[in-house]
């Protein structure tokens, strides 16, 4: 199994990740093509620098030939890495030159880059938008990324995603993340390190604070760690094939301000087969002995509406022989707080157990087929390009059955037959 390890002993930022990827062997031309594909007038400038005696690759993002950073509304120059480029504020008060999350989502979606890289980039920006939205108590769609900073951030994330995807590793790992210490000047005042958005993105991640008093991990770097679904345990042995160092902006004395990327093969088999994808999820559980069926059904329905990946209720025997219900929610880390709030508000639980777990998943996509009963979506699951399962969407089939006064199973069978015919035709082509 091919493994990539990010050693964040000096933190992580978007430009440090780009430098580490290049130094580890990723094609510079590949990343330049990715920058050009965004149609932002952006390009990368790559140089060699030393940080406390360590040679590393330094990457700067240029916009129409000028550095695409140092916007006046972002952090000042007191930290060594990229700036916090998101400035969360209501759309009605946004600066004239800015892009919001939906606009950036469309920009990345239209770029001619590898689909796997596109998914990583979209995931990173989704995490950034949700983190900023939570910090400022606004909707993610209202988060504005100011133009100068946004170009830098978009290129850092997209090119980093392209470089990461090109390595085709089976698992990303990371060490504890050095956030730095001290204070940083944000758009909304002087704040302790880590900055609010960074702290939100690093919830559940092992962190430390060492070295000079400065910001070492930026929101962009933290978002990329989460978007790559890093496993924060780098102790298992691997046989190294390549290493790379990416430099931050500053060169503090006796502190190598670099991110190290190590690539190699696992020496012992891991629990997840290489052909399957995986991610990390949060599991929330509470046991109830006084919840009515109506409350349980209402809570499960709201949980799914608010981002839960799954919601389950199972009968259990509690203390003193009382019959109760074990409520279990599965969610992404950035949805955890909202779902905890839901459980406390909608049920009588006094506590919630939470844990993070690795999840093995199939690749999924939604395909729409034409049937005699209208258009029905099919959820297709695959691994390494091989289709393993195809299931018609229940709500679509239910609607078709009602509209055409047919049994539900007839709509399901029609959708499966249409998909099978389409799939076979595509394979022959």
* Ordered structural domains, the chain, with CATH: 2-266 (no CATH), 277-361 (3.30.70.1380), 363-428 (3.10.20.300)
pLDDT value at residue 187:
67
Q: What pLDDT, on the 0 to 100 scale, is given for residue 270?
A: 44
Quote the CA–CA distance of 48 and 293 in Å, as a whole number.
64
Kindly report the length of the chain: 429
Q: Rounded CA gap, 118 and 307, in Å? A: 21
The helix/strand count (H/E) of the chain reads as: 11, 21
Pairing verdict, β 2-7 and 258-266:
antiparallel
Instruction: Give the angle subtended at the CA of 232 by the CAs of 156 and 58, to the nearest 5°.
Output: 30
d(C-alpha 40, C-alpha 157), whole Å: 14
Query: CA separation (Å) from 324 to 235, 283, 285, 313, 315?
Result: 41, 19, 13, 10, 6
Q: What is the pLDDT of residue 74?
A: 35
Q: Provide the pLDDT for residue 264.
A: 94
* pLDDT computed for residue 279 by the predictor: 76
Question: What is the CB neighbour count within 10 angstroms for residue 290?
Answer: 11
pLDDT at 84: 40
Q: Which H or E run includes 402?
A: helix 394-404
Q: In angstroms, rounded to a whole number, what is the distance separating the alpha carbons of residues 201 and 51? A: 27
**Residues 6 or more apart from 407 whose CB is under 8 A from it?**
401
Q: What pLDDT score was predicted for residue 236?
A: 72
Query: In tens digits, what is the pLDDT along the chain, a chain of 429 residues?
Result: 899 999 999 999 999 999 999 999 999 999 999 999 999 999 999 999 999 999 999 999 999 888 876 443 333 333 333 334 443 433 333 343 578 888 899 999 999 999 999 999 999 998 998 888 888 888 888 877 653 347 889 999 999 999 999 999 988 999 999 999 999 877 667 889 999 999 999 988 999 999 999 999 999 999 999 999 998 875 677 889 999 999 999 999 999 999 999 999 986 444 444 456 777 889 999 999 999 999 999 999 999 999 999 999 999 999 889 999 999 999 988 889 999 999 999 999 999 999 988 888 888 888 999 999 999 999 998 887 788 889 999 999 999 999 999 999 999 999 999 998 887 777 665
Sign of CA dihedral 73, 74, 79, 81: negative
pLDDT at 136: 83
> Of all helices (H) and strands (E), which one includes residue 363?
strand 363-371
pLDDT at position 89: 38
Q: What is the dihedral of CA 28, 33, 38, 40, to 10 degrees?
A: 70
Q: How far apart are CA 426 and CA 429, in angstroms?
A: 5
Residue 360 and residue 380: Cα distance in Å, rounded? 16
pLDDT at 428: 62
Q: Check residue 408 and give its pLDDT.
A: 96
Task: Show the tokens assigned to 216.
Answer: 């070492």
| Sequence-separated (6 or more) residues with CB below 8 Å from residue 426 | none
pLDDT at residue 424, as a whole number: 73
């Amino acid at each position: 199994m091919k493994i990539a390890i990010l050693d964040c002993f000096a933190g992580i930022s978007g430009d440090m990740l780009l430098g580490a990827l290049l130094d580890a062997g990723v094609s510079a031309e590949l990343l330049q093509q990715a920058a050009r594909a965004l149609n932002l007038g952006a390009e990368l400038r790559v140089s060699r620098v030393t940080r406390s005696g360590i040679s590393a690759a330094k990457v700067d993002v240029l916009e129409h030939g000028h550095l695409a950073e140092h916007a006046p509304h972002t952090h000042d120059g007191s930290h060594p890495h990229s700036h916090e480029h998101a400035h969360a504020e209501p759309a009605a008060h946004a600066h004239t030159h800015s892009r919001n999350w939906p606009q950036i989502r469309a920009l990345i979606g239209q770029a001619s880059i590898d689909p796997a890289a596109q998914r990583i980039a979209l995931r990173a920006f989704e995490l950034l938008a949700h983190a900023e939205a939570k910090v400022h108590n606004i909707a993610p769609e209202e988060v504005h990324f100011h133009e100068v900073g946004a170009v830098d951030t978009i290129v850092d994330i997209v090119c980093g995603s392209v470089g990461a995807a090109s390595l085709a590793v089976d698992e990303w790992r990371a060490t504890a993340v050095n956030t730095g210490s001290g204070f940083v000047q944000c758009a909304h005042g002087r704040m302790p390190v880590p900055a609010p958005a960074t702290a939100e993105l690093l919830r559940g991640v092992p962190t430390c604070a060492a070295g000079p008093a400065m910001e070492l991990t930026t929101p962009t770097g933290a978002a990329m760690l989460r978007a790559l679904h890093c496993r924060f345990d780098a102790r298992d042995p691997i046989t190294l094939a390549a290493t790379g160092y990416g430099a931050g902006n500053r060169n503090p004395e006796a502190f190598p301000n670099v991110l190290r990327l190590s690539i190699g093969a696992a020496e012992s088999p891991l629990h997840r087969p290489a052909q399957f994808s995986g991610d990390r999820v949060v599991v929330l559980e509470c046991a109830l002995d006084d919840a009515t069926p109506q409350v349980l059904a209402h809570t499960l329905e709201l949980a799914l509406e608010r981002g839960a990946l799954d919601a389950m209720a199972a009968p259990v025997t509690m203390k003193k022989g009382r019959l109760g219900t074990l409520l279990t929610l599965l969610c992404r880390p950035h949805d955890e707080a909202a779902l905890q709030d839901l459980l406390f508000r909608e049920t009588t639980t006094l506590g919630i157990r939470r844990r993070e777990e690795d999840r093995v998943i199939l690749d999924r996509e939604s395909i729409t087929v034409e049937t005699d009963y209208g258009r029905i979506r099919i959820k297709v699951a695959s691994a390494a390009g091989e289709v393993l399962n195809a299931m018609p969407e229940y709500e679509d089939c239910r609607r078709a059955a009602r509209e055409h006064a047919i049994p539900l199973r007839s709509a399901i069978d029609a959708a499966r037959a249409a998909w099978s015919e389409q799939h076979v035709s595509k394979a022959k082509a």
